[in-house]
Amino acid sequence: MSWLVTGGAGFIGSNLVQLLVNRYPEKRIVVLDALTYAGNLENLASLEGRENFRFVRGDIRDRALVGKLFDEHAIDGVYHLAAESHVDRSIMDSGAFIGTNVEGTWSLLEIARQRWKPGEGRFLHVSTDEVYGSLGPDDPAFTETTPYAPNSPYSASKAASDHLVRAWFHTYGINVVTTNCSNNFGPWQFPEKLIPVVICNALAGKPLPVYGDGMNVRDWLFVEDHCEALDLVFREGRAGEVYNIGGGNEVPNLRIIEKVCDLIDGICGPGASPRRELITFVKDRPGHDRRYAIDFTKVSAELGWAPAHQFDDALRSTVEWYLRHDKWLHSCRSGAYLEYYEKNYTGR
Ligand code: NAD
Ligand code: DAU
């Protein structure tokens, strides 16, 4: 029997695939990934040649291909991570977000419905805390019963996919479980997201773009902690349930950026001047959610999960990882990346 991991060449997917291939040698781990700009086979290079690992390039909406993979590999579990994942890109052009996040999830659910009898198999849908919208400074953290209130095309498309997953459980009895997680950081994150953008630009001596007043708050979680939660929820989560996953670690963006600057100064030396001097306030993101915070009591009480990494240590090891992987960083920042960067930041 085999497990299918969609989006396994992306940031969280590639970290998860490393864990699964190593932890479950008796399971074949089949990665399906379209290798969009965010997918990178280099992220999985260390698994090349492993007996229980297969990579297939393809789109989750290609039903003939996905059906064939289910049949050929006797897929009895799906970790669904494939998505368009970047909020700023969704604001520029939402089409791919509806295509992959909504239609793609629907298509996978339909294949699972055809191939599995009710109660058979396992479908883990990996989603985001952004579906719950934005919190005020004194609001309690998001729980699994917080009403949905997505504010960006990205979060709206993820909310739609969550609803499809829920409906396929109640209507067709597909054995689903959904996780809604907060902001991840760690190795292999594409340098369009805040922490790798800041590391890249700080190393290159370029401006560090802060949207708005820099006081938007995110709840940061080290990616390895997220992957441990996914492994646990996949195996032990109750069918049809939702589990919130978070770091219990709320930090304003400006503070994160300052921390990264200080870490790089400490490791590489400050150069001509401290990297904090590169901090540049730019026009805010439209619809920018002010604060996210996750209450992860349910996954903790039911399944015994809690983040194992301490934030400052994990941030330091992440910065060190990017310093060691400058070739990888360089390869991400290709022509298409520069085009996106221009469009998002120039004249902002
Ligand atoms: P990512 O953008 O790094 O990776 C997405 C992967 O999906 C890429 O490898 C890409 O090639 C692939 N993909 C995109 N469209 C596809 C398609 N149509 N068919 C097949 N593959 C396709 O994303 P990520 O940050 O690793 O996020 C993974 C999942 O976790 C997403 O569903 C995201 O919504 C969710 N999530 C992310 C975070 C975070 O902080 N990054 C937090 C919570 C939840
Ligand atoms: O909360 C989970 C979500 O976290 C995931 O579902 C998304 O896939 C993931 O991209 C992330 O979304 P955010 O929009 O929170 O992440 P991002 O790294 O783009 O931005 C983090 C914060 O930093 C946000 O408040 C916007 C701000 N920011 C971001 C960038 C790229 C800046 O101030 N400057 C920047 O250049």
Contacts of residue 246, defined as CB under 8 A and 6 or more positions apart, other chains included, come to 129, 141, 181, 182, 219, 221, 293, 294, 295, 296
Quote the ligand 2 centre to 218 CA distance (angstroms).
Answer: 8
pLDDT tier for residue 335 given thresholds of 50, 70 and 90: confident
What pLDDT digit, counting tens, does each position of 120-155 carry?
899 999 999 999 999 999 999 999 999 999 999 999
CA pair distance 298, 43, nearest whole angstrom: 32
From CA 16, how far away is CA 14, in angstroms rounded?
Answer: 5
Structure tokens at 348: 């902002």
Reported as a single tens digit per residue, the pLDDT across 46-61 is 999 999 999 999 999 9
Confidence of residue 186 (pLDDT cuts 50, 70, 90): very high
Q: Is 55 in the pocket of ligand 2 (CB under 6 A)?
A: no
Residue 86 CA, ligand 2 centroid: distance in Å: 7
* Whether the predicted pLDDT of 31 surpasses 90: yes
Please state the rounded mean pLDDT for residues 265-270. 93
250 lines ligand 2 (CB under 6 A): no
Ordered DSSP codes for 281-317: EEPPPTT---B--B--HHHHHHH-----S-HHHHHHH
Residue 154's CB: how many other CB atoms inside 10 A?
Answer: 24
Residues within a 6 A CB radius of ligand 1: 6-7, 9-13, 33-36, 38-39, 59-61, 81-85, 100, 104, 126, 128, 158, 181, 183-184, 190
The pLDDT tens digits of the residues spanning 195-206 come to: 999 999 999 999
Q: What is the CATH T-level fold of the domain 2-185+220-245, as seen in this structure?
A: Rossmann fold (3.40.50)
Contact indicator for 276, 258 with CB cutoff of 8 Å: yes
Is 148 tagged catalytic? no
pLDDT of 334 reads 82
In the residue annotation, 59 being an active-site residue is answered as: no
Tell me if residue 130 is catalytic. yes
